[in-house]
């Protein structure tokens, strides 16, 4: 298997995970940002990331790290917590 095929599979797997598992959380963060009438630029300034990064997270072009999700949620007045799904 070539390196390109391995990277492509890894990217597809990550994109699928993002679309199915992280999308609901990201959608909540987007809704809360809009509810608080924060622009992406203001949120970027508050959390210390580059201007276009929040936009790329919100449109699904990039996947935020766990740390970025915590910072993003905290900037909006929320926390991210873990909940056990199955025994």
Residue 23, domain CATH: 1.10.260.40
Q: Kindly give, in sequence order, each residue whose CB lies less than 8 Å from that of residue 63, ignoring residues fewer than 6 positions away.
A: 14, 15, 18, 22, 57
Has residue 83 been placed in a domain?
no
Total of domains in the chain? 1
Has residue 57 been placed in a domain?
yes
Has residue 47 been placed in a domain?
yes
Alpha-carbon gap, residue 58 to 27, rounded angstroms: 8
Domain range spanning residue 27?
3-75
Q: How confident is the model at residue 7 (pLDDT cuts 50, 70, 90)?
A: very low
What pLDDT is recorded for position 16? 60
What pLDDT is recorded for position 2? 54
Residues 58/38, Cβ–Cβ less than 8 Å: no
Has residue 70 been placed in a domain?
yes
Residue 39: C-alpha distances to residues 46, 55, 86 (Å): 11, 10, 37
Q: What is the pTM of this model?
A: 0.73
Has residue 44 been placed in a domain?
yes
Has residue 14 been placed in a domain?
yes
Has residue 7 been placed in a domain?
yes
């Amino acid at each position: 298997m070539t390196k390109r095929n391995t990277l492509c599979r890894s990217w597809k797997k990550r994109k699928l995970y993002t679309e199915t598992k992280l999308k609901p959380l990201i959608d909540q963060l987007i809704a809360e940002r809009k509810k608080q009438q924060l622009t992406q630029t203001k949120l970027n300034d508050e959390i210390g990331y580059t201007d276009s990064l929040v936009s790329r997270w919100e449109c699904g072009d990039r996947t935020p790290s766990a740390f970025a999700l915590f910072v993003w949620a905290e900037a909006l007045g929320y926390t991210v917590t873990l909940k056990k799904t199955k025994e």
